[in-house]
Amino acid sequence: MVDIRYDLAFKLYPYEPIATQTQPAQRRPVVIVGGGPVGMATALDLGRKGTPVLVLDDHEGVGQGSRAICFAKRTLEIADRLGAGQRMRDKGVVWNVGRVFHGPEQVFEFNLAPEGGHKNPAFINLQQPYFEKFLVDEIRVAQDEGVPIEIRGRHALTGLEVVGDHVRLEVDTPDGPYQLEADWLIACDGARSPIRDMMGLSFDGRVFEDNFLIADVKMMADFPTERWFWFEPPFKDSGQSALLHKQPDDIWRIDFQLGWDIDRAKELREDNIRARVDAMLGEGAEYELEWTSIYTFQCRRMAQFRHDRVIFAGDSAHQVSPFGARGANSGVQDAENLAWKLDLVVKGLAPDTLLDSYAQERAHGADENILNSTRATDFLTPKSEMSKRFRNAVLELARDHAFARPLVNSGRLSVPCVYDGLSLNGPDRLDGPARTRVGAPCVDATLADGFLLDRLPGQFVVLSLDVDAPQIEEVDGVPIHHVSLDLSVDDPNDMVRARYLGDAPYAIYLLRPDQHVAARWNTAGADDIRAALRIALGKGAEI
C-alpha cells in the first residue's frame, strides 16, 4: 500500500512495477528520497556529472498548490547550469519593485533592480509545480542523452538501516514491498521527513504561534507587477499583515496573517476567504480561488545534516519562515553544494570527509537563513507591547525619513551565503573586492560574448584575468577547466574588473564546481593551485 496524500498538479513519473521486485536487493550508489525541487536538482546535477542516481517518490508527480513562489537569482543561476534556467525565466514573472504600507499609507517603496551585467533577475515568481516540472523535463532530456538518472513514482520508503558500508532500504509499491541497498541515501523528503523520524533524529527550534492564510486568486487585474506588503492592513479582518504578489497565469498570491487562536476549518471556508479577499480587492472584484491553505511555521534545523551514509538536504534538514524566500532557494543551494562533493566521493576522487564540509557549509547557510527569517518574523509579529511600539515607530519614521527604512523588515530577500572561514577555503592572496572573496559565490558579469557564469561548468575552474595561469589539467584525478580572460577584449564594460580585481592589476581565481571561490591570488604557481584544490577536496592541510 502506498497512500496518496495529495492531488497532483502534473503527473510526471507514473508508477511502474520493477522487474527486480522479487530478486535480491540491488545496490545503487546514490538513492534520493523525495522528488521535490531539492531532490530533483540533486539528481540532475549528480546524473549530469555521471554518477548514477535513483529517485524514489511516494507520489507520481508534482503536488498541487503554488507553495514556494519566489525563486532567487542564485537559484536561477544553478538552474541555468543544470539546463532548466531558460524555461523558468520564460514562464516566471520578473519583479523588482516592492511597496510597504502601514495601514492605508505607503511607508516607502524599494527597487531590487540589480546592477547591470547579470543574466538573471534578482527574483522571478513562479509556482513551485512549474519549477519542479521544468527540472523533471530536463531530467527527461538528460536521460535521452544517456545520463544515468532513474525516477520511480509511488515507490515509498518505509524503513532503513545503515549497515557497514551501505544503507538497506525497504520500499513499498502498489505491487508490494521490495528491498534496495544504497551506498549513499539523500533525504530530500521535506519538513516532516519520514527518514528523520525513522532514524529518531531531533529537529529543534522555535515555533512561531501564528497562522497565515494563503489565497491564490486568478483574476484579470491591472495591479502592477510589484510586491505589496501591508503592516496592520486597512481592509476588514485582514489580520496583522497582508501580502499581494503576482505569479504567472494571472494568479495573485494573497497572504493574510491571522494570528494564533483561530478556527482553521472556519477560516478555510470559501465564503470566509472570499469576504477577506473582497475587502482587500474591493467589492465586485472578479476572481477565482485557485488554491487556499493555512500554514504555521517554525525555524529549526537538524544538529547534523550528515549521519554517516544518510545525508539530509532542503526542508528535511532545516526549516525557516517564508519571509525572505529562503526555503526552496536554500534547498537548491544545498543540492548544488552536495552534488559535486558526493560525485567526487562516489568516484573515489575525494575522501568521504568532504561530505562533512557539506554539512558544515550548509548548516552555516541554514543558520544565516534562520537568523534572517526569525528577525523578519519578530518585526512582522511583535511579541510584546514594547516591541510593537518600536516596530510602529520604525514604520512611522520611515514615511518621512530615509534612515528608518533599512530597519523595516518584511523579509530580507534570499541571497546566497558566503562560506567565510570554513574548512574548504584556500588562501586569499589578492587585495580584491570583498564580494568575490574566498568562500563567496561568483558574481555574474557581462562579457563581450555572453555571461561569465555561463563560462563556468560544474567542475573546478582556474579563472585567470590578464595573467597567465599554470596549465594544470588535473589534480589527483580531478579535472580542471581553464577560463582565461583578456579584459581589454572580453570585459568591455569593466564589470569583471570591478567585481574580481578592484584595484589589483591581474588575478587568478580557483573556483569550485558550485561556483564558490576556493582561493585567489595575484599570481599562482602550479603548487599553489594544487595545494588549494586539495584543501577544497577536503584533503586539506591547514593554510
Residues near other proteins (CB under 8 A): 386, 389-390, 392-394, 396-397, 401, 403-404, 407
Closest approach, Cβ 397 to other proteins, in A, equals 6
Chain centre distance of CA 302:
17
Backbone angles phi, psi at 227, to 5 degrees: -95, 115
Residue number with CB closer to other proteins (197 or 400): 400
Residue number with CB closer to other proteins (223 or 390): 390
For 63, 84, 90, 300, 316, the CA distances from 130, given in Å and listed in that order, are 11, 11, 11, 27, 21
**Do residues 84 and 238 make contact, with C-beta atoms less than 8 angstroms apart?**
no
Residue number with CB closer to other proteins (405 or 482): 405
Closest approach, Cβ 404 to other proteins, in A, equals 6
Residue number with CB closer to other proteins (303 or 393): 393
Closest approach, Cβ 526 to other proteins, in A, equals 44
Write out the E strands in 42-121.
53-57, 61-63, 70-72, 93-94, 97-102, 105-111
Closest approach, Cβ 243 to other proteins, in A, equals 25
Angle at 364 between CA 117 and CA 78, to 5 degrees: 35
Closest approach, Cβ 69 to other proteins, in A, equals 33
- Distance CA(276)–CA(273), nearest Å, equals 5
* Strand 227-231 with 70-72, pairing: unpaired
Chain centre distance of CA 63:
18
Residue number with CB closer to other proteins (119 or 391): 391
- Distance CA(292)–CA(471), nearest Å, equals 57
- Distance CA(104)–CA(279), nearest Å, equals 13
**Do residues 97 and 246 make contact, with C-beta atoms less than 8 angstroms apart?**
no
Phi-psi region of 502 (alpha: psi -120 to 50; beta: other; left: phi over 0): left
Residue number with CB closer to other proteins (128 or 381): 381
Residue number with CB closer to other proteins (261 or 403): 403
Phi-psi region of 390 (alpha: psi -120 to 50; beta: other; left: phi over 0): alpha
Closest CA to 406 of 110, 95, 115, 70: 110
Q: Which residue is listed with cell 505607503?
A: 106
Closest approach, Cβ 403 to other proteins, in A, equals 4
Closest approach, Cβ 382 to other proteins, in A, equals 11
For 45, 200, 336, 455, 468, the CA distances from 33, given in Å and listed in that order, are 15, 17, 16, 32, 45
Closest approach, Cβ 398 to other proteins, in A, equals 10
Residue number with CB closer to other proteins (53 or 394): 394
Residue number with CB closer to other proteins (375 or 530): 375
Residue number with CB closer to other proteins (6 or 390): 390
Closest approach, Cβ 322 to other proteins, in A, equals 27
Longest distance between any two alpha carbons in the chain, whole Å:
73
Residue number with CB closer to other proteins (192 or 401): 401
- Distance CA(266)–CA(258), nearest Å, equals 12
Closest approach, Cβ 420 to other proteins, in A, equals 19
Q: Which residues, 6 or more positions from 424, have their beta carbon under 8 angstroms from its beta carbon?
A: 357, 361, 512, 518, 535, 536, 538, 540
Angle at 115 between CA 114 and CA 117, to 5 degrees: 110
Closest approach, Cβ 408 to other proteins, in A, equals 12
